[in-house]
Structure 1
Amino acid sequence: MPPETLTPARILEATEDVLRRYGPAKATVVDVARALGVSHGSVYRHFGSKAALREAVTQRWLDRSHTELSAVADGDGPALPRLKEWLTALFAAKRHKAGDDPELFATYMVLVGENSGVVEQHVETMIGQLARIIESGVASGDLTSANATATARAVWDATNRFHDPAYAAEWSRPGIDEAFEAVCELVTRGLRP
């Protein structure tokens, strides 16, 4: 049986496994190559540096959130329920990542710190999704906002405790769901005409 073709996707999958196993401080491109059964030069042909590989892994991780949430942002139906659904899905996704795979989540926290450009792009994508929900609500008369992007940024900031990884330790504490519901109610009430 011929060996599997080396693709960027295979490299990124292997990199996630290596980062999970060794952590960001000890994981090397050689470790990734070894996991794939190739030379480290083969990995470098796809990703020119260790930093480029780490950035691609971070982007891949964040893109998963974009895809799931985009379906809600661009869905049908009234804007207020979609906004609540989007915020709930974001919080659930962040909790899932932090709670189900804490080693990889910690690794990503380091990678995110190293790749602020990727994180900034992620935040802008999330704010863009929120803005689309708000714009559709303004168009239908369900919401009020003079500037959908500014309002989306305010919603993002107001709900920061429920999606910023710096607060991950709080996401499993008693009362967090009630706090989330209270913030969502406040935000949605403030957007009603």
Structure 2
Amino acid sequence: MTPTSEILTAERILEATEEVLRRHGPAKATVVDVARALGVSHGSVYRHFRTKAALREAVTKRWLDRTSEALSGIAAEGRDPEARLRGWLAALFEAKRRKAGDDPELFATYTVLTGENGTAVGEHLADLTAQLTRIIRSGVDTGVFTADDPEATARAVFQATGRFHDPGYAREWGLPGVEEEFAAVVELLVRGLRA
């Protein structure tokens, strides 16, 4: 157990919640389990998160934000827009594959939690498409890409590559030839965007 002398923070609670979810799964994990793992009363957890649903949404958001944060550096200005687009899509695919493959139990847990937390998922998808929009708009501004509406184009690119990042396709991400299929889709999209 964690010593109670340590300051209880939202971040510590989220870390413990993730571990409890990994051990018990989303159906059996309780706030009492989280409190027990931290060596505090469940009331202490509720002081940070008013409800179990709020705690589950916060841990879901934290999990999704890891992907967004990793991709935001690629979306930032600096490199050639085409290279950034290719790198961003590849990094998204790899991040999702890693989450699904490295810890399948936790990935399954988060698949359940994302189904419960539409707000967190909506914000995550909006952030990802905003990053793509920045890349595509940069390409339009520099004459590398052509797109009448960079935001609509970003949504289309995101949807077109869904097989490589939507958790519903996770079982296919380890199949032979999936990397080649991904590369072919990206190549088609980039060629279609070139000015």
Instruction: Give the TM-score normalised by structure 2.
Output: 0.97
Alignment match, 1:57: 59
Question: For residues 95 and 30 of structure 2, what CA distance do their matches in structure 1 show?
Answer: 28
Give the counterpart letter for 2:30 in structure 1: T
Give the counterpart letter for 2:181 in structure 1: A
Question: For residues 75 and 128 of structure 1, what CA distance do their matches in structure 2 show?
Answer: 13
Query: Following TM superposition, where does structure 1 have runs of at least 4 consecutive aligned residues deviating by more than 3 angstroms?
Result: none
Give the counterpart letter for 1:159 in structure 2: T
Q: Shift of residue 2 of structure 1?
A: 6.9
| Conservation of the 8 A alpha-carbon contact between 2:4 and 2:39 | no
Question: For residues 71 and 78 of structure 2, what CA distance do their matches in structure 1 show?
Answer: 13
Question: For residues 3 and 10 of structure 1, what CA distance do their matches in structure 2 show?
Answer: 13
Alignment match, 2:140: 138
Question: For residues 5 and 108 of structure 2, what CA distance do their matches in structure 1 show?
Answer: 32
Aligned with 1:8 (options 7, 10, 35):
10
Alignment match, 1:29: 31
**Residue 71 (structure 1) aligned with residue 55 (structure 2):** no
| Conservation of the 8 A alpha-carbon contact between 2:136 and 2:150 | yes
Alignment match, 1:155: 157
Where do 5+ consecutive residues of structure 2 fail to align?
Answer: none
Where do 5+ consecutive residues of structure 1 fail to align?
Answer: none
Question: For residues 51 and 130 of structure 1, what CA distance do their matches in structure 2 show?
Answer: 30
Alignment match, 2:177: 175
Give the counterpart letter for 1:42 in structure 2: S
- Aligned to 1:105, the other structure's residue is in SS state helix
Q: Shift of residue 75 of structure 1?
A: 3.7
Question: For residues 41 and 8 of structure 1, what CA distance do their matches in structure 2 show?
Answer: 13
Question: For residues 68 and 87 of structure 1, what CA distance do their matches in structure 2 show?
Answer: 12
Question: For residues 2 and 10 of structure 1, what CA distance do their matches in structure 2 show?
Answer: 12
1:102-144 deviation digits (Å, cap 9, x = unpaired): 1110000000000011111111100000000001001100000
Question: For residues 61 and 11 of structure 2, what CA distance do their matches in structure 1 show?
Answer: 12
Alignment match, 1:125: 127
Question: For residues 187 and 19 of structure 1, what CA distance do their matches in structure 2 show?
Answer: 38
1:20-70 deviation digits (Å, cap 9, x = unpaired): 000000000000000000000000000000000000000000111111100
Alignment match, 1:114: 116
Task: Give the number of aligned pairs.
Answer: 193
| Conservation of the 8 A alpha-carbon contact between 2:71 and 2:91 | yes
Question: For residues 150 and 89 of structure 2, what CA distance do their matches in structure 1 show?
Answer: 16
Give the counterpart letter for 1:117 in structure 2: T
Alignment match, 2:82: 80
Question: For residues 28 and 79 of structure 2, what CA distance do their matches in structure 1 show?
Answer: 48
| Conservation of the 8 A alpha-carbon contact between 2:4 and 2:40 | no
